[in-house]
Amino acid sequence: MKKTLVALLAIGMAVVLEAAPKIKVKAAPDPKFDFSTVKTWAWDADAGDVKMALTATDNPAALKARIDPLLRKFVTDAMTRAGLTAPAGGPPDVQLHYYVLVTINMTGQTMGQFLPTVPYWGLPPFAPQTQSLEVVTKGSLVLDAMQPGPVGDRKVVWRGIAESTVADDIKDAEREARLKYAADELIKRLTLKKKK
């Protein structure tokens, strides 16, 4: 029994460690907002949006149906560990809203790209020829913390972004581990200290 538990923990850690270096996380708070007053939080009415810019047959609703429950669970767990709770009757101190953005990113290099075309050095102008081309699917999780209020009047006081490349053949366990890692790292960057 102990060996099985240790093996499962090792596999879980390996998946999390594999996910960690592939995700770039950054956050930006509003310097005028006093985060020391934040004790409660809640999701806004629809919690999140999924935007896809891959093909004409993209289905953002299907992707949202698959990842929305996971994101809500992972963010809720991370917020609880950060010491924030659901409001007891009144409005929350902040409302959260997420965006999942899936796009295609392309980088390429052409022969002579980094050399100046200077005839008196004996370097003729280069005809562009592709030497390197990389096309990847890029996924971003954007998490906003907003002051509560009507939809048009809310102000974003904190935004966290987790970015990664997304492979088509990624396994469900790794996808979940990456989402959990992204949610945990984003909430760790939610500043809950007093302004100086």
- CATH at residue 89: 3.30.160
| Domain contains 193 | no
Q: Residue 120: its pLDDT value, please?
A: 60
| Domain contains 172 | yes
Is residue 137 within a helix (H) or strand (E), and if so which, with residue range? Answer: strand 130-146
| Domain contains 180 | yes
| Domain contains 89 | yes
Q: Residue 71: its pLDDT value, please?
A: 92
| Domain contains 50 | yes
| Domain contains 196 | no
How large is the angle between the packed helices 2-19 and 172-188, nearest 10 degrees?
Answer: 70
* Residues 24 and 73 sit within 8 Å (Cβ to Cβ): no
Q: Residue 101: its pLDDT value, please?
A: 85
C-alpha span between 141 and 133 (Å, rounded):
26
* Residues 162 and 100 sit within 8 Å (Cβ to Cβ): no
Q: How many domains does the chain have?
A: 1
Q: Residue 20: its pLDDT value, please?
A: 47
| Domain contains 194 | no
Q: Residue 78: its pLDDT value, please?
A: 94
| Domain contains 63 | yes
Distances in Å between the Cα of 98 and the Cα atoms of 1, 67, 145 are 40, 11, 9
Q: Identify the three-state secondary structure at position 178.
A: helix
Q: Residue 76: its pLDDT value, please?
A: 93
Domain of 29? 2-188
Question: pLDDT tens, position by position, for the chain (196 residues)?
Answer: 555 544 444 455 444 444 444 788 999 999 888 888 889 999 988 788 888 776 677 788 888 888 899 999 999 999 999 989 988 888 899 999 999 888 776 666 666 666 665 656 555 566 666 666 555 567 888 999 998 877 777 889 999 999 888 776 778 888 888 889 999 999 999 877 655 5
Q: Residue 132: its pLDDT value, please?
A: 61
For the chain, give the number of residues. 196
